[in-house]
Chain A
Amino acid sequence: MEFKDYYQTMGVARDATQDQIKRAYRKLARKYHPDVSKEPDAEARFKEVGEAYEVLKDPEKRAAYDQFGANWKAGQDFHPPPDWDAGFEFSGGGYTDAGGQDHSAFFEELFGRRYAGATGQGRRRTLRMRGEDHHAKVLIDLEDSYQGATRTITLRMPELTDDGHLTTRIPKGIRPGQQIRLAGQGGPGIGGGEPGDLYLEVEFRDHPLYSVDGADIQLHLPVAPWEAALGATVKVPTPSGTVDLKIPADSNQGRKLRLRGRGLPGKSPGDLYVLLQITLPPADSDAAKQLYEKMRDQLGFDPRAHLGVS
């Protein structure tokens, strides 16, 4: 079992006051909250921070934890000595606050077991009730929406299938934020009630070329200055295949060209927006330098005329 350095996780000193710990927790919770955060490992970090706070916010648990001292480093193989917790009473802090199943083996070993049995047991229900609806996210690629796909989802609720997996169809034209409702795939019913539904919220993985906004998608297209100035027909990748795009003469940086109906498919298909990005050839040869000098001398072009500083 890996030792967890909760002080390191929270970024506080071992002698931090309870107030300092609370402040550190609030800051980190905002930073890593999965609904708010853009950090790539937000969910994992949020859980770690929650677990650390669970221990450090409770003076009894903290004192018990503290006896392992500063000699332990995060990640070291750790086994608590027998009776390490004699004389402590972990009564105050609610173990179930954060949902115990999210905690590490380290936490479970130290603080988990005796509490696990105490929750949710012994309530006898005779009513007949529909099962809970469950929610999960499904990450798909942009291409899946263009073609339709099937995805296997791993669930944390093993009662559903033998192995905790289920496979669902991803319908063509699905957009980020939409939900797929799988009837009867949620929690089991109580007292013979029907099971709840499973809601899958669709998210798109970041795509190296395209960004998605509703049903529309956008592509940044690099063009040479002469293509933008003189006009050109260039090959452009789209998720449904390469197309020839006519760039109008006198196009400027950032010009948006619309390819109607080339966005996500559906009853009202989206559009593909191509954003021109004028890319300069480097002046890394005599020939290139001469061409730039020629433009400078002959075009009489002042890009800052409107700033009134010429």
Chain B
Amino acid sequence: MATSAMQVVLTGEVLDEDSEITLLQLCHSCSVTAETVEALVEHGILEPAGRRGRHWCFAAPSIRRVLVAQRLQRDLGVNLAGAALALDLLERIARLEAALGQGGSGQAGHQPQPSEP
């Protein structure tokens, strides 16, 4: 039996590619300073919209890019340019893998039998 705590089903807000967050939200969400965000913009890791400064807005996927860039710098010792390159390459790999589909296996022999027309 589930406990009462587990009965509560939370409903969140979906942040899609079109959702915008403010500079403040981005900083708070990723626990980084505005200067860090500025440096990420300088290196093309983030693409802001709006006037520079507190009016900057970012697309929601920026959150992930900031976090990954932070982790790559911390764990692998790359600099911002290296993190930018890694992020671009990772995105390219993701697109290529999606285009290849199914992990690129050549044998797709387990498909349902096509029925006779």
Contacts and interface: CB of A to CB of B under 8 A. Distances in A.
B12 A180 contact: yes
> For A26, A165, A211, A232, which residue has the most chain B Cβ atoms within 10 angstroms?
A211
B9 interface: yes
B14 A174 contact: yes
A235 B111 CA distance: 11
Contacts of B30: 133
Interface string B87-117: 0001000010111111100001111101101
Interface string A237-256: 10000000000000000000
Interface in B1-25: 3, 5-17
Given A218-B98, A275-B101, A181 B12 contact: yes
A51 B30 CA distance: 25
A101 B11 CA distance: 29
The 9 closest A-B pairs by CB, nearest first: A213-B98, A211-B101, A180-B12, A234-B114, A179-B15, A182-B12, A133-B29, A168-B10, A169-B11
A16 B99 CA distance: 43
A220 B109 CA distance: 10
Interface stretch (A2-10, A117-125, A199-207): A199-207
A175 B64 CA distance: 14
A29 B76 contact: yes
8 contacts: A26-B76, A35-B72, A180-B15, A211-B98, A212-B98, A220-B101, A223-B114, A224-B114
A167 B6 contact: yes
Nearest to B64: A201
B12 A133 contact: no
Interface residues of B, number: 47
B28 A130 contact: yes
Contact of A162 (B5, B15, B112): B5
Contacts of A165: 5-6
A150 B30 CA distance: 26
Given A29-B75, A36-B90, A181-B12, A234 B6 contact: no
B33 interface: no
Contacts of B110: 208
A209 B29 CA distance: 36
B86 A36 contact: yes
Contacts of B71: 33-35
A29 B72 CA distance: 10
A112 interface: no
B37 interface: no
B5 A161 contact: yes
Interface string A15-52: 00000000000100110011110000000001000100
B100 to A, nearest CB: 7
A211 B108 CA distance: 13
Contacts of A196: 28
A124 to B, nearest CB: 21
A279 B107 CA distance: 9
A93 interface: no
B90 A35 contact: yes
Contacts of A219: 101
B116 to A, nearest CB: 9
A120 B61 CA distance: 31
A232 B114 contact: yes
B107 to A, nearest CB: 9
Contacts of A46: 75
Given A133-B29, A167-B9, 10 more contacts: A132-B31, A150-B9, A167-B8, A169-B9, A179-B14, A208-B110, A220-B102, A220-B108, A227-B114, A234-B117
Given A179-B60, A180-B12, A206 B103 contact: yes
A237 to B, nearest CB: 6
